[in-house]
Amino acid sequence: MINPTKISQVQDKIKKALEQIEKEENIKITFGDIKYNAAFYQSPMKVITLDKMEKVSDVYTQLSKKLGFTQNIIGMSFHSPVSGSVTITDIKPRNRKYPVIGENDKGKSYKFTIFQVKHYIGGDKIINRNANLDKLLED
């Protein structure tokens, strides 16, 4: 029978087994919301590459520009009054209301509107300045 305790035990074993694959392939594997009943449970799995390739960066830049930002915002940090220090980890362009996903220092994810992100970071001028500083520091 599937219950929350059983799910937790199985998920821990799966995560432990996937750690080796994450190291070998230079990826990050995360699980989404769990849905279950007495017979089974299901959870979506997301695999993200950790390679800093130009092609990967271009995809995030296109998604950021699609939302109205002038630069790639993935990896930028800001301080939110509710969630504290947040780093932007993902963009969900199909989510019209809360397309930007951020993670705080404790690992908890939060959703943000485009207006909130621009407000907390300081607007497009600050976003451009931060992106240009990152480019200069990488060279």
Question: pLDDT-derived band of residue 69, with 50, 70 and 90 as boundaries?
Answer: confident
Secondary structure letter of residue 43 according to DSSP:
-
pLDDT at 85 over 70: yes
% residues pLDDT > 90 (the chain): 27
The arithmetic mean of pLDDT across residues 110-126, rounded, is 85
Q: By CB neighbour count within 10 A (0-12 exposed, 13-18 middle, 19+ buried), where does 33 fall?
A: exposed
The arithmetic mean of pLDDT across residues 96-113, rounded, is 90
pLDDT at 62 over 60: yes
Domains in the chain: boundaries: 4-49, 54-138
Question: pLDDT-derived band of residue 112, with 50, 70 and 90 as boundaries?
Answer: very high
Structure tokens at 61: 């830049």
Question: pLDDT-derived band of residue 65, with 50, 70 and 90 as boundaries?
Answer: confident
Taking a C-beta distance cutoff of 8 angstroms, is the pair 92, 101 a contact?
yes
Question: pLDDT-derived band of residue 47, with 50, 70 and 90 as boundaries?
Answer: confident
Distance CA(64)–CA(84), nearest Å, equals 22
Secondary structure of residue 56 in the 3-state scheme: helix
The Cβ of residue 49 has, within 10 Å, a number of other Cβ atoms equal to 12
Residue 27's beta-bridge partner residues? Answer: 49
